[in-house]
Structure formats: C-alpha cells, structure tokens
Structure 1
Amino acid sequence: MNIFRFFGDMTHLFSVIVLLLKIYATKSCSGVSLKTQELYALVFVMRYLDLFTDFISLYNTIMKLVFISTTVAIVWCMRKHPLVRRTYDKDLDTFRHYILVTVSFVLALLFHDRFTIKEVFWAFSIYLEAVAILPQLVLLQRSGNVDNLTGQYVFFLGAYRGFYILNWIYRYFTESHYFRWIPWMAGLVQTALYADFFYYYFLSWKNNAKLQLPA
C-alpha cells in the first residue's frame, strides 16, 4: 500500500467519523441526505461481497467492515432514532436517487471486466459511488447555509477521492503502467462533482466566513 491510498482511506474514514460525531453529539441530522447515505450503504454492500470469499489482509477486512457498519448505523439513526429522525430535512432531500441506481446498474451490465455476478456488482458499486454524493450536494444547495460538521464531512469525502486519484497515478508509474479504466473514469466524474463545493469551501475558509452554497 502506498502513502496516497493510505491517506485516501484515512480521509474517507475521517469523513464518516465527522458525520457520526455530528449525529450522535448533536442528535441532529439536519443538512445530511438520507438518500446519499442509503446509496453509500448499497455501494459498500455490493463492493465488499468478497468478504465471504477472499481474504486480502486484516487491514482490508477491518476497513470494509467499518464502512459497511458505520454507514448502516447512520441510515438507521436517520430513519429510526426518535430524536435524530425529527431533524431530517425530508422536504429538501427530494433527489430521485433511484434513477442513479438504475443507470449505474445498466452501465454495470454493459461495461464490466467480466460478466460474473461478483464483477457486475463491483462495477455497479463503482458507478454508483461516483454519483452517490449528488443528493447530498443538492440538499446543501437548497438549504443554502452549511453547518461546520456537514461541510467538513463533504470536504473529507471529496479529499478521499482526490488521494485515490493520486494513488492511481502513482501505481501507473510504479506498477508496469497499472490501469483500470472503470474506477479511473468513475473517479474523475466523482471528483468533478465536488468542484463547485470545493470552490465555495475554500472561499469560506479564506474569508473566515460560514460556508454558503448558491441555490
């Protein structure tokens, strides 16, 4: 494992910790998209089916279990916790996320490494992860003001993808021109979706002001 992938894993993990901290400490999920969290839960379950068939390393197994369990816990809190669910911005979180699921699954059936259940579900998870942040970004734009913890959550989630792109570039030059076009293309799309958010995030940081996104 190279340093870029490690930092990518850590920023991804930290984004989840920040979100859990917001929900459990404040008993509020205001500004958080349940639909995005449900999409991520589906992403992790589909991608990590190899937990039942392949052992790569203890680190790898632990990280997979952590991402599945924490995301499911977030979804449960937003749906079932008596205090948290009352703060859910249901009227703002109206993105039709089932369209993202449908398109991602069709792409996985058409474009995959091998036509097996495991490989199709893996490709599906890659395509879906690329666009899973859309309901969250739309919710933030509709609400306008973004609280500090929610902003940090999205920032670290975007940083995770940035580090993974650096990881791919590093591996391309050090591992006999390593290249996997499905995650690379999906990763570039995912990073592009964060561009507008990062612009306003750094603008608010530079001006020491509250993060606001244009509606």
Structure 2
Amino acid sequence: MFTVDKVIGNTCQKDVPSISGKSQILFAIVYTTRYLDLLTTYISAYNTVMKIVFIAASYATVYLMYLKFKATYDQNHDTFRIEFLIIPAVALALLINHDFTVLEILWTFSIYLESVAILPQLFLVSKTGEAESITSHYLFALGSYRALYLLNWIYRYYVEDHYDLIAIVAGVVQTVLYCDFFYLYITKVLKGKKLQLPA
C-alpha cells in the first residue's frame, strides 16, 4: 500500500491509495507461466511483443513496489497469504487440464491463478475500509478487462464454434469476485465519492 503524507495546516493527513503488492506478484506469476510458449511457439510479431510487454510490466511493477518505492509501501495491511491461492491453483491444474504436458499445465495453472489473483487487493481494500479514486479506477479497469473476456468467448463460440470450459469457468469466478466492487464503484466512485466499504 502506498502512503503519502500531506501536511494541512498543523495536522498530518495520510492519503492511502491501497495497492496490493501480493496481487502484483500473483499477476507476474500468471503472465510468466501463461506465456512460456514464447520459447517454443511463434504466432506473430504482435503476439510476441505483447506477451513480453505483459511479463516485463508485471515484474517492473513488483520491482517498483518492493524495491524502488519500498519506503512508501506499507506491508502491514497487505497480509493476504498468497500460498492459499497458489497451492490450490497448482493442484487444480494437475487434476483438470486439457493435456498433461508441462506447458499446458502451466497455462491451466495461470488461468486458475488469474481468476483469484485479485483477492489480495480486495482483501487489502476491505482491511483498510476504503480506497482512493485512483485505486478504485485501477480495480475497475482490471475487472472490466476480465469481464470483456466473457464477450470474447461468446463471440468465438458463435463465429468460430470454439469454447474453452476451463477459461470460461475461471473467468466467471473472477467476474463474480468483482461484483460487489462493481456495485460500489458505480454507486460511489462515479458519483465523485470515495469508495468506502460498509461497516
């Protein structure tokens, strides 16, 4: 969690945008395991560049939070135990996958893990009780990105007669996790209020 001290008159006020480093670590793991096919398969220059950008950006974010701006990252509130997400995702990937090969299991693991990678962020917001506007917009963008996958799957089913049950179920789980946040975002943040969770 980033904290910025503002001095107003004789009082000191803390501005808390509440970004979870744990969620950022999980996203770095997700993109690394999902895009290891970079080493074996070439699809297009665009595809390759975008995969590299996703991986590099996720590690750059982790670096900035934990090293470069370590002094402004408050780990006291970012306490979610990510092993409780990683271990079940590994187990599920080993049990339910399309093909029992290393790359396929890693891809499946990344799908399962991404569906719950936002939980440390949501836990952090619930623990602090509120989120600044920038954090709220960030969470909304993350949730919208995943919700748009639902439209992509509908399109691919009708146009290409293709569907991936593992990805669809994981995407639905992730979208459901965002539902309460979406409601609060629409009813509070879009009206110019700070996102505060009900007591």
**TM-score if structure 1 supplies the norm length?**
0.83
Given that 2:20 and 2:124 are in contact with CA atoms closer than 8 Å, whether structure 1 keeps it comes out as yes
Unaligned runs of 5+ in 1: 1-21
Alpha-carbon distance in 2 for matches of 1:209, 1:187: 29
2:60 to 64, 73, 91: 73
Larger fraction in helix: 1
Instruction: Flag the structure with more relative contact order, 1 or 2, with Cα contacts below 8 A and sequence separation at least 6.
Output: 1
1:172 to 146, 157, 162: 157
Alpha-carbon distance in 2 for matches of 1:29, 1:209: 15
Given that 1:172 and 1:179 are in contact with CA atoms closer than 8 Å, whether structure 2 keeps it comes out as yes
Please name the residue that 2:172 is paired with: 188
Unaligned runs of 5+ in 2: 4-14
**TM-score if structure 2 supplies the norm length?**
0.89
Please name the residue that 1:11 is paired with: none
Please name the residue that 1:159 is paired with: 144
**Corresponding residue pairs, total:** 187
C-alpha displacement of 1:145 = 2.2
Over 3 Å off, 4+ runs: none
- Does residue 135 of structure 1 match 2:125? no
- Does residue 58 of structure 1 match 2:42? no
Alpha-carbon distance in 2 for matches of 1:208, 1:37: 27
Given that 2:64 and 2:70 are in contact with CA atoms closer than 8 Å, whether structure 1 keeps it comes out as yes
Please give the root-mean-square deviation of Cα atoms over the aligned residues, in Å: 1.8
Q: Which moved more, 1:141-150 or 1:183-192?
A: 141-150
1:150 to 135, 138, 141: 135
Alpha-carbon distance in 2 for matches of 1:148, 1:30: 8
- Distance change >3 Å, CA 30–CA 149, structure 1 → 2: closer
Given that 1:158 and 1:194 are in contact with CA atoms closer than 8 Å, whether structure 2 keeps it comes out as yes
- Does residue 44 of structure 1 match 2:31? yes
